[in-house]
Structure 1
Amino acid sequence: MVEQGMLEQEVKELIIEVLQLEDITPADIDAGEPLFVEGLGLDSIDALELGVALQKRYGISLSADSAETRQHFASVRALAALIESQGKKGA
């Protein structure tokens, strides 16, 4: 298993890369802070792009309309926990 802190760092880097957040560094993202509305202020298009990137990199399965998926996208920490729970490793 990947250490939680390292996985959170990978997720932060993926968010920045996929969403082209040029003015943000991984250190600027609090792992427990909300990704949508507050926090990073991501929107539904960002969620779609991020979801596709997570599926490609980690092979995780996500359901677009699931309340459970919305919970997983609550924060970097929640996404890292999802990846770890599915036992996936980065490419």
Structure 2
Amino acid sequence: MVPETMGHYRPAGGKMSESLFGDESPDCPQCGLEEPRPVIYGRASEEMVTAAKLGHIVLGGEEVPEAHRLWQCQGLECEYRF
């Protein structure tokens, strides 16, 4: 059972282009490509490393930079972080 404070429940395996809060991801402001990959900061778990290898997420490093980015374009010639 999911507590009411957690909001909408979505089982594992949902679209990675959606945030944890159900918001849609923005298009890349550089090239316009849809569905950027989320950039995840902090110590990576085995599951996170696997997700990064599969191209579902981008590992941003253990330290969160002051001007951290939330998304990275999937375009091979773009890869813009925003």
- Which fold has the larger relative contact order, with Cα–Cα distance below 8 Å and residues 6 or more apart in sequence? 1
**TM-score over 0.5 for the pair:** no
Please give the range of the TM-score, normalised by the shorter of the 2 chains. under 0.3
Identify the structure with the greater helix proportion. 1
Identify the structure with the greater strand proportion. 2
Bigger radius of gyration among the two: 2
TM-score normalised according to structure 2 size: 0.26
